[in-house]
Chain A
Amino acid sequence: MIFQLDKEHELTKQLFRNFAETEAKPLAQEVDEEERFPYETVRKMARYGFLGIPFAKEFGGQGCDSLTYAMCVEEMSRVCATTGVIVSAHTSLCAEPIHKYGSGEQKEKYLIPLAKGEKIGAFGLTEPGAGTDSAGQQTKAVLNGDHYVLNGTKIFITNGGVADIYIILAMTDKSKGNRGISAFIVEQGTEGFSIGKKELKMGIRGSSTTELVFENCIVPKENRLGEEGKGFGIAMGTLDGGRIGIAAQALGIAQGALDETVAYVKERKQFGKSISAFQNTQFQLADMKTQVEAARLLVYKAAWAKDNQKMFSAEAAMAKLFAAETAMSVTTKCVQLHGGYGYTRDYPIERMMRDAKITEIYEGTSEVQRMVIASGMLK
């Protein structure tokens, strides 16, 4: 086993760090305060191929691996968790299922522009009555000749208001439960498809999280992704990959908070010395660094597993569970070490704490991750 990045990954990580510091960091506070989607950063990420990292060049991608993709999300999230999740939702939840389950025509038409970053992607599974219990889908898709007619509402959709291409899960046969769910590729601007309410959120406030509304929305039959009734498997497989992205986001948030805090405790003086001279500070920093490093190993291992193993559900779930809880605990402690200043918006640390919370909730709550991990153990 080699616990060291090779030269290629080392240089790629340097690229992401440099880009994030130069492009994403200066906008992080503004996109949070104004709840504004960072279009300018997304356009630049598209230009440099960051929106198609793990896809082959023939599909408009960069021909890199899942680890490279995870490092991109990590480094963006280290300075701006909003930017991190935009990459993650686009890549893992929209481009990846088309890559994995799509037909040749679907890849040609949708994956290539997604991977090139000419189009932005989103994924719609969650509904008001179907969160963790995703089998409770109310959105229906009825086959009518050469097209399906979709009716229903999706909520909490990341990139919802800005995407061009959506993966939408809907019931094609209610009587079959999970086996009655199918997946569809729906384009922005399709008749009967509109963007509903935009959510006002606690964190990742620059990302666009919206409702999607389908009212007699006509989706051509050739836009069904995979076979009819296979949507649940597609959704679960997609979320396995998505969890690596969110785990990387959580890891980045935790690392970013720690970096800010190390700089702060060296500057802040109390009782005539830097607070870094106090053993309480040192022990807290040591614990946090240990946690972050452990999270990194789990995240990188999950990315490696995705590229090298058939099944990686447990690895992805463990990475997300541990990294998300690390992000929450590290950012909370970092706010504490910042004291009163940490509670103000003059420092980025309170934003990082708000941003961290979502990683324990979306793409499967921490409780769901435990269910996934345990179910693998008890098979």
Chain B
Amino acid sequence: MKIIVCIKQVPDTTEVKLNPETGTLIREGVSSIINPDDKAGLEAALRLKDACGASVTALSMGPLQADVALREALAMGADDAVLISDRAFGGADTWATSSTIASAIRKIGGYDLIITGRQAIDGDTAQVGPQIAEHLGLPNVSYAEALEIEGDTVIVKRQFEDRYHMIQVKMPCLITALAELNEPRYMTPGGIADAYRNKEITMLTRADLDVEDQNIGLKGSPTRVFKSFTKAVKGKGTVVNLEGSEAAAWLVERMKEKFIL
């Protein structure tokens, strides 16, 4: 079984701020990490590798610095890694990104399962995974919080707001993973050494991909960002110190006042 896992390198957003003038992220001094949902997807793939010997390819699209995210994937146990990187792909929205990634996946070929994260913590669109499936004509199950392989199908526990669905889907297919899916493993020191000394990252540039110019990069991106801003801080909250049932009664009253209940 061959699994392709899409990972995105994102700024560790716990500390990220917006530049109030340009509305863009201030990335200086902020460390980069593998997007948490994607990392859970990678862990899910590695567990399938441990259990049934699947091969795992980590795939990322981004600037050359995204190399580190792929080395990390290799150090965790991925078999190989592919980086899609070219200035021509810069400024891509979800449409252009998914078109580009789908084209790379077509080129890699031979896959049974594609796993992406649900959404990236820097963009929060949750669109790229399902769009890749659409481009490739694959069935897609999103929001996976558990998955297992049965024959040539995957059984996915799909999270909903107030329930979950159990969905059985035939491979090849695409699944988007939630961070809740699992607790990703750490790298090992020896794995990192191997990732840098003994492994190559395959580079795919514009010339390597069969995708139309109108579907890539900034020019191929129909999305226009109207405005980015940091939410204004609301007033201070109210702190009350009450015992359990009293606290509940107090809270119910306040919610009634606000017509929430």
Contact = CB atoms under 8 A, between A and B. Distances in A.
Interface stretch (B135-143, B186-194, B242-250): B186-194
Contacts of B188: 48-49, 62
A8 B75 CA distance: 10
A12 B71 contact: no
B83 to A, nearest CB: 14
Contacts of A18: 186
Interface in B154-193: 185-193
A68 interface: yes
Contacts of B196: 7-8, 11
Contacts of A304: none
Contacts of A68: 189, 193
B227 interface: no
B186, B191, B197: residue with the most chain A Cβ atoms closer than 10 Å: B186
Nearest to A68: B189
Contact of A53 (B68, B186, B189, B197): B189
A64 B194 CA distance: 10
Nearest to A50: B189
Contacts of B186: 15, 18-19, 48
Nearest to A56: B190
A371 B189 CA distance: 35
A49 B190 contact: yes
Interface in A3-41: 7-8, 11-12, 14-15, 18-19
B189 A12 contact: yes
A68 B189 CA distance: 8
Contacts of A63: 190, 193
A256 interface: no
A62 B190 contact: yes
Nearest to B71: A11
A57 B190 contact: yes
Nearest to A61: B190
**Contact-size category for B:** 10 to 19
Nearest to B196: A8
A190 B142 CA distance: 57
Given A19-B186, A48-B186, A8 B193 contact: yes
A19 B187 CA distance: 10
A11 B190 contact: no
A14 to B, nearest CB: 8
Contact of A7 (B68, B185, B187, B191): B68
Interface in B12-37: 31
Contacts of B38: none
B72 interface: yes
Contacts of A11: 68, 71-72, 75, 187, 192, 195-196
Contacts of A7: 68, 71, 196
Contacts of A62: 188-190, 193
A12, A50, A53, A64: residue with the most chain B Cβ atoms closer than 10 Å: A12
A8 B72 contact: no
Contacts of B190: 49, 57, 61-64
Given A8-B197, A11-B75, A64 B189 contact: yes
A324 interface: no
Interface in B70-87: 71-72, 75
Nearest to B194: A63
A322 B127 CA distance: 55
A19 B75 CA distance: 15
Nearest to A69: B189
A251 B108 CA distance: 47
A213 interface: no
B31, B189, B197: residue with the most chain A Cβ atoms closer than 10 Å: B189
Interface string B34-71: 00000000000000000000000000000000001001
A288 to B, nearest CB: 21
A49 B194 CA distance: 14
Interface string A280-302: 00000000000000000000000
A15 B192 contact: yes
Interface of A: 7-8, 11-12, 14-15, 18-19, 48-50, 53, 57, 61-64, 68, 72
13 contacts: A7-B68, A7-B71, A8-B192, A11-B68, A11-B71, A11-B195, A12-B192, A15-B75, A15-B186, A15-B187, A49-B191, A61-B190, A72-B189
Interface of B: 31, 68, 71-72, 75, 185-193, 195-197
